[in-house]
């Protein structure tokens, strides 16, 4: 992902965001949003906003060591870039060993259909997969580099499913998931980004593109060609999810953001040309050029964070199920309870939740992830009606009660999160919805005792309803209006 502790100060100063409690990388929101004018993109955005819950997967050779994705080869003095293991004594030794992981990467348990089944049952509706992270290792059969999973140096290349990006996209598309291609704009393996003539100093390009224009042009062509491969050889793609926001035109740098102040050079890769090409091949494609506000950031992506209030534009919180984006042995996974609470809060504020699970070096998830998804799915089967195709409605929440509404404004939903001791009475206060005629508990057969009061609706037998319905997670009430 784009950044970590170096931008925590920016978040601490901003009252907009609510932390999920996950330490590590955070991600600032762009200050401006430019609504797309392509009607196909506008329509796709509306469809995407209906989906609400997606699967993110960070996967690469770094899973063999169980370390942070890519960042351990970045020569920045941060806690989360620290090198670990027997090769960590010097940078060059570590980099050589890290890149040598290509020769041992053999995820023989890779079975995307197993992931699709679990994600589908959990109620997820779209997927975003890391086709290439910052380290430059390609999880697809690019023709621009031999640093890839399908190269003969990689043991898994002999497997008929070696082109894992294609296999993942095909498997999820078959089950009607929207497909998102994560692609890192920086490439730390490319000699045209980290030129071997100079040592890398940080995450940025290690030479001045203005001083060496031919080399930068070669990198721009390389990037363009790789994205075109993804847009032409991998079926229908709905989202081009571009990470590495330091690769950007100098004019777009926001000096109020810590990590952007470290960008010394103009790293313009010509997004207008890339986006035009991508949409020629994939009409209606949503482009998400993270943190680079403008016409190529079709929705924003707060990272490991949930906005405290609704935003006036499309957004998605990308959050890890464990503590790490990449696979780490023994990682601590969020409970199903915590994920459900996150989903409810995010959807009540008009956003989507993109939940990350990192596959391991054997090609499978930790069994805990499957268990969590199963439990989430059980809740979604009962309560998903007020999640999918919903929109935010004021006042969005009151205490531990969170609201959504149907797009036709005839139905509202109130989710009561089981936080602390809850009494018999629950007040539901949804604005601008008219006069209520019926209140139902989703998943419960018992009659809801309710009445209209000055500040909304009071359900007076909440405790009995919750217990008799055998609920364990957030209770969902459906309010039908006249």
Range of the domain at 406: 393-481
pLDDT of the residue at 190: 99
Judge if 354 and 400 occupy the same domain. no
Q: What is the band of 28 on the pLDDT scale with cuts at 50, 70, 90?
A: low
pLDDT at residue 10 tops 80: no
Distance CA 182, CA 69 (A): 14
The pLDDT tens digits of the residues spanning 396-441 come to 999 999 999 999 999 999 999 998 767 889 999 999 998 999 999 9
Answer whether 150's CB lies under 8 Å from 162's CB: yes
Judge if 456 and 352 occupy the same domain. no
Judge if 217 and 76 occupy the same domain. yes
The pLDDT tens digits of the residues spanning 59-106 come to 999 999 999 999 999 999 888 899 988 899 999 999 999 999 999 999
Length of the chain: 482
Distance CA 4, CA 1 (A): 8
Phi, psi of 126 (to 5 degrees): -150, 160
Look at residues 386, 414, 437 and tell me which one is the last residue of a structural domain: 386
Give percent of the chain above pLDDT 70.
Answer: 94
pLDDT of the residue at 1: 64
Number of domains in the chain: 2
Judge if 304 and 403 occupy the same domain. no
pLDDT at residue 9 tops 60: no
pLDDT of the residue at 256: 87
Answer whether 115's CB lies under 8 Å from 54's CB: no
Distance CA 275, CA 98 (A): 32
pLDDT at residue 25 tops 50: no
Q: What is the band of 211 on the pLDDT scale with cuts at 50, 70, 90?
A: very high
What CATH number is given to the structural domain containing 107? Answer: 3.20.20.80
Judge if 429 and 399 occupy the same domain. yes
Judge if 260 and 111 occupy the same domain. yes
pLDDT at residue 392 tops 70: yes
Look at residues 386, 402, 424 and tell me which one is the last residue of a structural domain: 386
The pLDDT tens digits of the residues spanning 251-272 come to 999 988 888 998 999 999 999 9
Look at residues 370, 386, 402 and tell me which one is the last residue of a structural domain: 386
The pLDDT tens digits of the residues spanning 443-456 come to 998 999 999 998 89
């Amino acid at each position: 992902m784009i950044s970590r502790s170096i931008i925590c100060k920016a978040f601490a100063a901003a009252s907009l965001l609510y932390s999920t409690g996950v330490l590590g990388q955070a991600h600032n929101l762009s200050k401006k949003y430019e609504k797309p004018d392509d009607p196909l993109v506008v329509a796709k955005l509306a469809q995407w906003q209906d989906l609400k819950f997606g699967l993110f997967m960070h996967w690469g050779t770094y899973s063999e060591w169980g370390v942070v994705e890519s960042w351990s080869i970045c020569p920045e003095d941060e806690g989360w870039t620290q090198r670990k293991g027997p090769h960590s004594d010097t940078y060059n030794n570590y980099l050589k060993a890290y890149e040598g992981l290509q020769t041992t990467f053999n995820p023989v348990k890779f079975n995307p259909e197993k992931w699709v089944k679990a994600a589908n049952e959990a109620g997820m509706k779209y997927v975003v997969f890391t086709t290439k992270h910052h380290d430059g290792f390609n999880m697809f059969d690019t023709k621009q580099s031999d640093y890839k999973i399908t190269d003969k140096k990689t043991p898994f290349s002999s497997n008929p499913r070696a082109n894992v990006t294609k296999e993942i996209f095909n498997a999820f598309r078959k089950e009607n998931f929207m497909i998102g291609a994560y692609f890192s704009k920086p490439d730390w393996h490319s000699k045209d980004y980290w030129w071997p003539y100079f040592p890398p100093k940080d995450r940025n390009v290690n030479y001045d593109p203005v001083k060496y224009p031919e080399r930068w042009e070669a990198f721009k062509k390389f990037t363009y060609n790789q994205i075109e491969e993804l847009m032409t050889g991998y079926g229908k793609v709905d989202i081009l999810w571009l990470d590495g926001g330091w690769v950007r035109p100098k004019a777009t740098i926001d000096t109020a953001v810590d990590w952007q102040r470290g960008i010394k050079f103009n790293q313009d890769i010509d997004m207008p040309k890339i986006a035009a090409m991508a949409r020629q091949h994939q009409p209606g494609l949503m482009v998400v050029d993270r943190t680079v506000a403008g016409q190529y950031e079709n929705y924003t992506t707060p990272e490991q964070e949930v906005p405290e209030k609704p935003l006036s534009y499309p957004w998605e919180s990308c959050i890890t199920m464990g503590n790490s984006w990449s696979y780490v042995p023994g990682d601590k996974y969020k409970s199903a309870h915590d994920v459900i609470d996150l989903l409810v809060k995010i959807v009540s504020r008009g956003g989507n939740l993109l939940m990350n699970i990192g596959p391991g070096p054997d090609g499978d998830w930790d069994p805990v992830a499957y268990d969590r998804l199963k439990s989430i799915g059980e809740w979604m089967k009962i309560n998903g009606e007020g999640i999918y195709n919903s929109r935010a409605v004021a006042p969005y929440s009151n205490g531990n009660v969170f609201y959504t509404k149907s797009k036709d404004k005839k139905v509202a939903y109130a989710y009561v999160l089981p936080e602390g001791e809850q009494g018999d009475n629950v007040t539901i206060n949804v604005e601008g919805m008219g006069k209520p005629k019926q209140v139902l508990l989703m998943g419960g057969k018992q009659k809801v005792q309710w009445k209209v009061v000055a500040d909304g609706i009071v359900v007076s037998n909440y405790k009995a309803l919750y217990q008799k319905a055998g609920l364990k997670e957030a209770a969902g009430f459906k309010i039908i209006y006249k």
